[in-house]
């Protein structure tokens, strides 16, 4: 199968492809709603507003480490105003801590991550292409126990077409010999398809910011990470 696919290099996503990230944020969102429960709003309404505010901050600030806590606080202020109540410093502190604690949890590997990487590293060049705040991402990579599998690590600001093209140029990679493996249509699949890189999508937990339709059907979709062993 590998010969037919003509693979020399694989660009791997990190979050929710090799380590679980979304479930950390889901837990923080539940704690956040619990902190706001006294205001009397529905969970769905609170979390939809949080997504709206947080996506706005991503557009303005990118994936900075301060962004998430700031979004939680701004959402709290929004609902305080809507309820006709003044924000309480005690609750603000609690909410801020909820936001920062998502960065303090040790990454949990996706099931089969080491098995897959052990298999692939002997056949292909592996490069990690992840999105986020450089300090946070490098810390997660170090703690994940997966760093040694990759010949290079790139922490990208937006996962834009231009950033992927820069990775190709830096490592002198041919598009037709390079594959992207990730879980996000917006950040992994569509940029790859637009610039002509081959793609494998392994759908996993994402948030509203990542929701997007594939621009074509010219990619391989797998159910889980270990399915890669049957194809590559």
| pLDDT mean over 24-41 | 94
pLDDT in tens, 117-145: 999 999 999 999 999 999 999 999 999 99
| CATH 3.40.50.1000 is right for the domain spanning 2-21+107-230 | yes
- Determine the straight-line distance between the first and last CA of the chain, rounded to whole angstroms: 6
pLDDT computed for residue 7 by the predictor: 77
The span from the CA of 89 to the CA of 95, in Å, is 10
| pLDDT mean over 171-194 | 96
The helix/strand/coil state of 107 is coil
The span from the CA of 159 to the CA of 162, in Å, is 8
The answer to whether residues 15 and 130 touch, using CB atoms and an 8 Å cutoff, is yes
pTM for the structure as a whole: 0.92
| pLDDT mean over 28-53 | 95
The span from the CA of 226 to the CA of 138, in Å, is 24
pLDDT band at 17 (very low <50, low <70, confident <90, very high): very high
The answer to whether residues 198 and 40 touch, using CB atoms and an 8 Å cutoff, is no
- Percent of the chain surpassing pLDDT 70: 96
| DSSP code at position 148 | G
User: Which residues lie closer than 8 Å to 39 by C-beta, 6 or more apart?
Assistant: 79, 80, 82, 83, 85
The span from the CA of 7 to the CA of 232, in Å, is 9
Task: Break the chain into its structural domains and give their ranges.
Answer: 2-21+107-230, 23-101
Mean per-residue pLDDT of the chain:
93
pLDDT in tens, 58-73: 878 878 889 999 999 9
The answer to whether residues 12 and 181 touch, using CB atoms and an 8 Å cutoff, is yes
The span from the CA of 211 to the CA of 55, in Å, is 12
The span from the CA of 33 to the CA of 94, in Å, is 12
pLDDT computed for residue 5 by the predictor: 59
Q: Which class would CATH give 23-101? A: mainly alpha
The span from the CA of 192 to the CA of 186, in Å, is 10
């Amino acid at each position: 199968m590998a010969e037919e696919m003509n693979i020399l290099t694989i660009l791997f996503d990190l979050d929710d492809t090799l380590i679980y990230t979304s479930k950390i944020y889901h837990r923080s969102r539940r704690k956040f709603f619990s902190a706001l429960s006294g205001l009397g709003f529905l969970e769905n309404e609170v979390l939809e507003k949080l997504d709206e505010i947080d996506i706005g901050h991503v557009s303005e600030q990118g994936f900075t480490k301060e962004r998430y806590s700031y979004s939680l606080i701004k959402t709290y202020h929004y609902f305080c105003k809507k309820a006709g109540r003044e924000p309480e410093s005690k609750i603000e502190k609690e909410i801020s801590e909820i936001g920062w604690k998502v960065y303090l949890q040790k990454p949990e590997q996706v099931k089969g991550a080491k098995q897959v990487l052990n298999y692939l590293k002997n056949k292909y060049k592996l490069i990690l292409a992840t999105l986020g705040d450089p300090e946070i991402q490098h810390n997660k990579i170090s703690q994940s126990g997966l760093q040694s599998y990759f010949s290079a690590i790139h922490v990208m600001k937006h996962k834009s077409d231009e950033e992927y093209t820069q990775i190709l140029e830096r490592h002198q990679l041919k598009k037709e010999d390079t594959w992207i493996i990730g879980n996000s249509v917006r950040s992994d699949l569509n940029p790859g398809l637009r610039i002509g890189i081959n793609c494998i999508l392994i759908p996993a937990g994402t948030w509203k910011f990542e929701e997007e339709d594939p621009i074509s059907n010219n990619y391989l979709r797998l159910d889980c990470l270990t399915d890669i062993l049957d194809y590559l």
